Amino acid sequence: MTETVLANAQLVLPGESFRGSVMVRDGRIAAIGQGGAVPPGALDCEGDIIAPGLIELHTDNLERHIQPRPRVDWPHANAIVAHDGELASVGITTVFDALRVGSVVSNKDSNYGKYARSMATEILQMRARGALRISHFLHLRAEVCSETLIEEMAEFGESDRIGIVSLMDHTPGQRQFRDVSKLRDYCVVKHGMTEDQFQAHVANLRSLHDRFGERHEEAAVANAHRYGATLASHDDTTAAHVAVSAAHGARLAEFPTTVEAARACHDHGIAVMMGAPNLIRGGSHSGNVAAHLLAEMDLLDILSSDYVPGALLTGAFLLADLWDDLPRGISTVTAAPARAVGLRDRGRIEEGARADLIRIRRIEGVAVVRGVWVHGARVG
């Protein structure tokens, strides 16, 4: 039996926060007490915040470690470990690693080569060998504008820890890139495309959607049910988009692009997730709705770090300040994402819950992580 007591801390529980202590025994929260006393052998948290470990549902961070520079393929095991360690360092204790499924194989110059099955296998192997600090699940991003989506999804099954399948439709002129000039900026800056290459890219995506879109969307929905995964929509823009998502059984909306879509999601009981970078920067880099506006309208439920892992905790405190409600802000990165994907054992400080915990101190407004525990073991 292993036992740890975190004492003299500001505990953040569902709906309330108070000075108290948490006893952890064999990976679970065994008891919660009130008051600032520090029993013999306990860790004195000196008034720091103790919150549940953060839960990240959508992150592109692994891609950055795999390809740190254009055309540089970093050794994958090293990249996975570095990604895992970075997330642990900023308080993320559960992650759904986003992997694109659906490739373009007819064009050898395409940036959409097949990789998901092999990468998933490497992540799961590293997890099985005890190389990873935090809890990893898979998030399959189903690209309907592709050629091989059906074949690639068939390579996955129930044992692959797939927690989310999101429907990705990157057809230019709608959803995330309604403004095609924003897509041009993205392709030129990130991929160095010329104007001719960009126009060919747009034409190809539109052709792929026309040829495969409907069939691929149906297959992605069917496979999400086969895996037992949460189905998520992506970049819904209109109420009509949301109605289709709801009919498919979506429970999570990733980054709706308009107030109309976010409001329709709530009408259908679909949780709205927005990017913490959008919140921190004050707006979307794609010109879509600002996360702070949805928060002010009570239309934001969950935050994702998206492409900046440290943004998740920063964003939670920004929301806590905006709402003047620390438990509510913290819930957008803990209890709410856990609920959206059916993780009932974490995301809350309560007796019997998994002891994924983080210790935080705010220094000049910056949330600094001072301790991380995963399943009761200290990892940071």
Contact by Cβ (8 Å): 155, 129? no
Residue-level pLDDT, tens digit, the chain, 380 residues = 689 999 999 999 999 999 999 999 999 999 999 999 999 999 999 999 999 999 999 999 999 999 998 789 999 999 999 999 999 999 999 999 999 999 887 766 556 679 999 999 999 999 999 999 999 999 999 998 888 999 999 999 999 999 999 998 866 656 566 665 666 666 566 666 677 666 666 666 666 677 776 889 999 999 999 999 999 999 999 999 999 999 999 999 999 999 999 999 999 999 999 999 999 999 987 778 999 999 999 999 999 999 999 999 999 999 999 999 999 999 999 999 999 999 999 999 999 999 999 999 999 999 999 999 999 999 99
pLDDT score at 103: 85
Beta strands in the chain (DSSP E): 3-13, 16-25, 28-34, 43-44, 49-52, 54-59, 92-101, 135-143, 162-168, 230-234, 252-254, 271-275, 302-304, 357-363, 366-374, 377-378
* Structural domains of the chain sorted by starting position, each given as residue range(s) with its CATH number in brackets: 1-52+346-380 (2.30.40.10), 54-344 (3.20.20.140)
Strands 252-254 and 357-363: unpaired
Contact by Cβ (8 Å): 264, 176? no
The sign one gets for the Cα dihedral 256, 260, 266, 267 is negative
Strands 43-44 and 3-13: parallel
> Model's pTM, two decimal places?
0.91
DSSP reduced 3-state for 265: helix
Task: Check residue 107 and report its DSSP letter.
Answer: -
Please return the burial class of 40, using the count of CB atoms within 10 Å of its CB with bins 0-12, 13-18 and 19+: exposed
pLDDT score at 70: 79
